[in-house]
Amino acid sequence: MLRASLWQLVALAVAAAAVVHGSDAYYRGDNNHSSSLHGDFDAVWGQRNARFRDEGRVVELTLDEETGSRLQSKDRYLFGRFDLDIKLVPGDSAGTITSFYICTGGARHDEVDFEFLGNVSGEPYLLHTNVFSDGKGEREQQFVLWFDPTADFHTYSILWNPLNIILYIDGTPIRVFKNNEAYGVPFPARQPVHVFASIWNAEEWATQGGRVKTDWARAPFVAAYRRFSAGNACVWRGRRCRGSNLGSPSSSWMTQKLDWWSWMTLNWVRMNYMSYDYCADRRRYPHGFPTECVIPIGRV
């Protein structure tokens, strides 16, 4: 778990203000939610369990005993800010995983994950995040949430630019993975990604370490998605990005890093809601942590 430090105490002191400030700054401006998930995604697995509603503006992905379901973006992107609203499976969701991620595919794939691990009724979801670069992941960070993710839609965001990858929940930063290529840590920067949303059964490990299995009597398990936005993300068409007005204010995400307030907020999240950090798991790394955990620039 976390070591309290003066820095973190300061973070706590300003946390409330920071959350408000962070969300505000993040949302004002260039968000442009696409009106149709149907237009942006194809169901590539479990098609019959992907139900588009409200003229394609909402999609419900269902897990039943036969199959889950996965959507894949029609476009590929090289850098972007991706927002998606998700309302998770209510009630007993043990054994299920609902996800939103970007992934390149291929042997040396890059990937950034939001994975929501379900739980029995009344017990909290766990948010499992990971970053793969050049085929290597094992960079897990897990969080509990400060709200009920099944009661309403919340906005989950992946910001990916050449400087860093930042994960946000409702505009609050929860994780950053900096570009530390200068220190020999591969950073996703060369391969375009698809955006994915899915639901599947992972009862072997998802809930309470795999002790609780999926209760199929409770099926079908349904998660809802809406308001996908790839903003002015760089759409990949072969070698160049199409129509990317990357110099304009509407693509400010391209150079976005965490400012002071955002760092404070991130610290507040880490201190209060982080339940696992690979960079703090001494049992797993008895002979020293991975480079990005050690080099000062990679530390939070």
189-208: contacts with ligand NAG (CB under 6 A):
206-208
Stretches 5-13, 80-88, 120-128, 251-259: which one binds ligand NAG (CB under 6 A)? 120-128
* Cβ 293 to ligand NAG shortest distance, Å: 23
Binding-site member from 32, 121, 255, 291 for ligand NAG (CB under 6 A):
32
Which of 98, 104, 119, 214 contacts ligand NAG by CB under 6 A? 119
Residues annotated as part of the active site: 111, 115
Q: Select 123 or 134, whichever has its Cβ closest to ligand NAG.
A: 123
- The one among 123, 134, 140, 170 contacting ligand NAG by CB under 6 A: 123
For residue 245, the minimal CB distance to ligand NAG (Å) is: 10
146-175: contacts with ligand NAG (CB under 6 A): none
From the CB of 250, what's the least distance to ligand NAG, in Å? 7
Q: Which two tokens stand for residue 221?
A: 């398990």
How many CB atoms are closer than 10 A to CB 152?
10
Instruction: Return the number of the residue (32 or 47) whose C-beta is nearest ligand NAG.
Output: 32
Length of the chain: 300
Distance between alpha carbon 20 and the CA centroid of its chain, in Å? 20
Q: 207 or 267: whose CB is closer to ligand NAG?
A: 207
Contact 149, 116 (CB under 8 A): yes
- The stretches of the chain forming alpha helices (DSSP H) are 6-27, 37-40, 260-273, 291-294
- Contact assessment for residue 45 and residue 61, using Cβ atoms and an 8 Å cutoff: no
Q: What are phi and psi of 58, to 5 degrees?
A: -125, 140
- Residue from 124, 135, 162, 210 binding ligand NAG (CB under 6 A): 124
Residue 129 Cβ vs ligand NAG, minimum distance, rounded to whole Å: 13
CB 81 within 8 A of CB 59: no
Angle (nearest 5°) at CA 263 between 1 and 12: 60
In the sheet with 221-229, reading across from the earlier edge strand, the strands are 50-53, 58-63, 221-229, 80-87, 154-160, 164-169, 172-178
Which residues are paired to 127 by β-bridges? 116, 143
Closest approach of ligand NAG to the CB of residue 222, in Å: 18
- Using CB under 6 A as the binding rule, whether residue 255 contacts ligand NAG is answered as no
Residues at the site binding ligand NAG, with contacts judged by CB under 6 A: 32, 117, 119, 123-124, 126, 206-208
